[in-house]
Chain A
Amino acid sequence: MKKILLTFIVLISLVNTLSAQKLYSFLDVGEPVNKYPAVTWLKGSGITQFEKDKIYVVELWATWCKPCIKSMPHMSELATKFKDKITFIAQDVWEEDTTKVRQFISNNASFFTNSMVAFDGVQNKGDFDRNWLKPSGTFGIPRTFLIRNNTIAWITFPFELTEEHLQLLLEGKLTKENATAIVQKNKQ
């Protein structure tokens, strides 16, 4: 009986995986986003969809990604500054070991004080990989997505993202052009 039940459960989960919904074919600046892919939330209440009147920053990282970790103090500073206005999601991608990720979060709690943290799993397996990374043509991390009004407002890197950008985003004035201009200005 046990065996039959187990087979049954395996079958059900298989069917579930196969019928997993394709959320997005293409994600870029200006594209609409509603649902958040199915991930495991390691810190914070988590979200399943983007709410229309809320603003989000989704930051991609992994424990093996040195530049991601290097930019964490900066991102955490921004998250603290905008904690009442913007939801920060630190989305872990492309790694297998949840324990390692949990350990990293507890060892570096200060990086995530005002961020939610989500875990997706290995490449080609996770829902976030299929429904976010692939449609957005992402093949390297870190990478940062800004979402406002159920639309991707800008895609950038954490070390290029500044308070000035987030202020414009809050005011609904951030465009790809002025965002890039700020990056250029800061480089000089």
Chain B
Amino acid sequence: MMTLRQVLAGSAMLTMTVASFALHAQVQPFTVEGQMGKDQQGMLSYRYVSLNKIVQDSVKVINGAFRFSGEVDEPAATTLIFMPENKSIKGQFKEIFIDPGATLTMKGDANLLSTQTKGGPSQSDLDALFELYKPLSVKGPELEKQFKEYQDAGDEANMKRVGQQLQDLRLERRNIQEAFAKKYLNSFVGFSLWTRHVDGFIKDPVKYEAEFNAYSPAVRNTPTGKRIALNLATARKLLAGTQAPDFTLNDINGKPVSLSSFKGKNVLLCFWNRNFIPFEPFSFALNKISRVLKDENLVILAVYCDDDQKRWHSEVEEAGFTTPNFINVINPVKQSAEADTTPIGKSYNLSLGMIPHNFVIGTDGKILVRDIDLGLEPEVAIGKIINK
């Protein structure tokens, strides 16, 4: 069975990947010009991210020629899909990397896969990465074909064996990516491979800071670089042992309540709303903590992160967050993938993907633990932490 953390992380992950900040980024134009074999006709669709928005469009391919342009604020990983007019021919998929200000040419004498892409340092780096992938790109499809054959034959022993080989191949690919990310420190391609392994909320900023600082200033000053720098800085302020950022929010009766007013008590600070699933294990865990630790010096400060006051009232009731050690307050901001820019949102790095999120805070107002796993007997873990 999956742990609650995994389930929650799964739902959070969807939004995390597009989590973004409003930065004053500058865009620069780009152009992609392509010439495949003259007999190629059809539609080419492309997809990339610029200013944190997904850009998706398509152009016609006539006699193998196509052209599209746009604007990007940083080097953009771009996927291309060519669908030939002749429906009996399979579509083709290709990845390229577009630098701001670049003109890319794609030339080949057959389909999309035959093209060679030139233009821009990021594209050269991508070529270097694909060169390293080469041995895998032969082995991979072969193994997949074998796997399918064994599957059809119901040969479980061989399926297991080939499945393991595929698993090893994926690991090998990951190792290649990690090595590339460490070597190409002035490359946005290397950097974006590194960012894949950085969580939306960073638990170990010290480790990640060292890795981040190894990249060149040019890379670190891209919008993605700045966003990660901001996440690192926030994560540092939320490390165990630091003072939990104070805030004042209204409780369920409209009376202002400050975190600092609980000095002398342990606080389980929990940010929540109803926009994640499954919700029940979460509310069950909080209810259990509330009951098991009712005679401990603990309050559960439940911060509802949504602007719908009425819904808040009924959800508090429905979830049963009404036992005496619950304090319900509201941060009346509709959460989205974009970061919450209110003071509390900024200091706790709130966004849709970040919720639910919790902190155990000691009697002195310092953070004891961040992000207790609510799926693994949290009442026991918290009991131990506050009674240390």
Contacts and interface: CB of A to CB of B under 8 A. Distances in A.
A138 interface: yes
A25 interface: yes
Interface stretch (A42-50, A75-83, A129-137, A165-173): A129-137
B320 A26 contact: yes
Contacts, number: 32
A137 B1 contact: no
Contact of B280 (A22, A28, A137): A137
Contacts of B322: 25
A135 B284 contact: yes
Contact of A133 (B280, B317, B320): B280
B287 A26 contact: yes
Nearest to B319: A25
Interface in A115-147: 133-140
Interface string A4-24: 000000000000000000100
A140 B7 CA distance: 12
A79 to B, nearest CB: 25
A144 to B, nearest CB: 15
Interface residues on B, range: 10 to 19
B320 A137 contact: no
A133 B280 CA distance: 8
Contacts of B284: 26, 28, 135-137
B281 A135 contact: no
A135 B320 contact: yes
Contacts of A139: 7, 278, 280-281
Contacts of B222: none
Nearest to B321: A25
Contacts of B287: 25-26, 135
A136 B288 CA distance: 10
B291 interface: yes
Contacts of A25: 287, 319-320, 322
A179 to B, nearest CB: 16
Contacts of B7: 139
Contacts of A140: 1
A95 B220 CA distance: 52
B291 A137 contact: no
A104 to B, nearest CB: 25
Contacts of A22: 317-318
Contacts of B281: 137, 139
Nearest to A31: B291
Contacts of B280: 133-134, 137-139
B155 to A, nearest CB: 23
A26 B1 contact: no
A52 B284 CA distance: 26
Nearest to A129: B280
Contacts of B1: 140
Contacts of A137: 280-281, 283-285
A26 B322 CA distance: 11
B8 to A, nearest CB: 11
A139 B285 CA distance: 13
Nearest to B284: A137
Interface in B260-319: 278, 280-281, 283-285, 287-288, 291, 317-319
A26 B278 contact: no
- 8 residue pairs, one from A and one from B, having the closest CB atoms: A137-B284, A25-B320, A26-B287, A139-B278, A137-B281, A134-B280, A137-B280, A26-B320
Given A22-B318, A135-B320, 12 more contacts: A25-B319, A25-B322, A26-B287, A28-B288, A135-B284, A137-B281, A137-B283, A137-B284, A137-B285, A139-B7, A139-B278, A140-B1
9 contacts: A22-B317, A26-B287, A26-B291, A134-B280, A135-B320, A136-B284, A137-B283, A137-B284, A140-B1
